[in-house]
Structure 1
Amino acid sequence: MILCVLFTNRAGNVLLERFHGLPAEERLHWRSFLVKLTAENLKTARDDEVFVASHKSVFIVYTVIGDICIFAVGKEVYDELALMEVLNAVTSSVKEVCRKDPSERLFLEKYGKVCLCLDEIISQGALEHTDKDRIRRLTRLKPLAE
């Protein structure tokens, strides 16, 4: 299951989060844990540089694009490789929505569209779509047959 997809700025402030299968009382713990765990790597990270971590039976994959840090957390079948697919789909969709590497301001301006993309990529904690063109068509709410 994909437990969490989290977007933060470089300072660690949460911009967008989606949790699946985690009780509300554990979410605050995960937010702070991810930011603390990755802070050192993200200080010097280049755009699209991907990092991998694990904690007990949970896998974490994260990257930076522009001013935005993106985290994907999973367990069971969503190991590092599966989370890389999730992260690739999310980053390519965010780049397409923002038309470039996003600043925090641009990301927040496109917040609604990013949420739609995220909903098409991940459904109920499972990877749904990874094809960038298909995601774009689904978020435009047009039939796929076009």
Structure 2
Amino acid sequence: MLMCVLFTNTAGNILLERFQGVQAEERLHWRSFLVKLGTDNLSGAHNEELFVASHKSVYVVYTAIGDISVFVVGKDEYDELALAEVLYAITSCVKDICQKAPTERAFLDKYGRVCLCLDEIVFEGTLEHTDKDRIRRLARLKPIAD
């Protein structure tokens, strides 16, 4: 199950979060853990360099794109490799929406489209789509001609 997708800025402020199957009282712990993980490891990291961590029998894969840090947390069948695929789909869609490496302003200006794309990639804790063109068409709410 994909437990969490979290977007933060370089200062560690949360821009977007999606939790699935995580109790409300545990969410604060996960927020603070992920923000601390990002501030400790992502300063000076190359753009889209993947980092992997393990915490409480779950996996965390995270990266920085532009001014945005993206964290994906999963357990069970979502190991490091599966989370890397999810993270790649998310980052490619965010870069496509913002039309370059996203700044905080560009990300917040396109917040609605980012949420729509995120909903097409991850649905109720499972990976749905990874093809960028298909996600773009689905986020525009247009039928797919197969």
Deviations 1:5-45 (A, max 9, x none): 00000111000000000011111110001111232211111
Aligned AA (2:11): A
In the TM superposition, what whole-angstrom CA distance separates every residue of 1:83-132 from its partner, at most 9, and x where no partner exists? Answer: 00100000000000001001000000000000000000000000000000
Are the counterparts in 1 of residues 5 and 19 from structure 2 also a CA contact under 8 Å?
yes
Instruction: Give runs of ≥4 in structure 1 deviating > 3 Å.
Output: none
Q: Which residue of 2 aligns with 1:59?
A: 59
Alignment of 1:121-132 (within 5 A): 121-132=121-132
Equivalent pairs, count: 146
Q: TM-score, normalised by structure 2?
A: 0.98
Q: Please tell me the root mean square deviation across aligned C-alpha atoms, in Å.
A: 0.9
Name the counterpart of 2:43. 43
SS of match in other structure, 1:45 = coil
2:38/2:69 contact within 8 Å kept: no
Aligned counterparts of 2:100 and 2:37: Cα–Cα separation in 1 = 27
Question: Structure 1: where are the runs of 5+ without partners?
Answer: none
- What does residue 73 of structure 1 align with? 73
Distance 1:69 1:2 in 2: 17
Counterpart residue number, 1:18: 18
Aligned-partner residue type, residue 128 of structure 1: E
How high is the sequence identity, in percent, across the aligned residues?
71
| Counterpart residue identity of residue 3, structure 1 | M
Q: Distance in 2 between matches of 1:8 and 1:38?
A: 9
Aligned twin of 2:103: 103
TM-score by length of 1: 0.98
